[in-house]
Structure 1
């Protein structure tokens, strides 16, 4: 009998990328709050006799206080994405890091992806234009005999399968553009909330020290000379 190595609980109101909720309207549903779902998940694992399975909380983790709060709720560990993606050591393109680091909550948007899932990303020029055109694209959506790129990266694809309520773009194209650092054409997924060092790019050592230091603020305080103004890629 196969058992899970771990269970990851990703809060859809806080995490980036594709989100585990049925619709965009469900993202802030209180049933996803860690205060509720961590104890409930642990209870299910205990009832199944596999209470030793680690429960990992993900989404919005930015400080030692966040980690401690989640551990107090029963989480065995936490998972972070965006804070590590913008470190010096991350192998992402420099422009990719800058887009994520500069983005504020008002620069992000939630929408239905071509995969049929809610998603959270930075509102780059391409995404802004796409969302404005989306009603027209959905009106003419129709099933195609095959993927236009002959790639079939998704088992279910709104663009290929003509699903009118799903996204209508090639996710491979847009993620590849982000990988290249193409700010105008890329799709840049990002978690919600200010990053530990604001929009400054720092090293993993600094990030870990911040996360593991009791009393560290939600966003680390920077000396005035260390703060970098936004670089304006999204304007």
Structure 2
């Protein structure tokens, strides 16, 4: 076992990794990064400080996922409902992708990470969209961990748009209603081509999905923690994977 872990991680692993099964690592992990504001408030800091610290956690957990051999990591960065927040906070959040990618693109390239975006582009400020799309293009040839930012993403809107697209196919005679299968829906979702998450992690103690990947999470294992996102560490991440490995995935069977 220890030799397998050393082969997986390239060197003697940290103690929290020793109890993980190298052959049972989730292929796709999705995370609802929650609690930035409450973390800041608990320390007498402005909410923006919490978002900035949360950005550091993104780098930390991306590297942890890469070390584990996770193939897909999807992070819920900004929802379609988050536009309701105060204007100053939204403007700050829209600057974070550019700051993060400018600071971290070199390390992400060295780690062979491929960046993708999943969300509705039309409402995003041009500077936010450009920063993400430039990173997508720059990392498009990378073949390692696929890091997807769900940015201006809402699952209900995603599914409505998928149904509309299928409806257009029916109207144009490309498809008849009786032939519509699960695969048709999946091919019209923003996550098309990416396997459904094996594991969902949500931080900060909230026990809900908040309009995140409602179709894709149908059979995902879910793990919730009271830890706020800015203080979410490698060890917490490994703990979630360890719990995933304890579970038997039956997909509705016995």
TM range (shorter): under 0.3
TM-score, with length taken from structure 2: 0.24
In the superposition, the TM-score normalised over structure 1's length comes to 0.26
Q: Which has the higher helix share?
A: 2
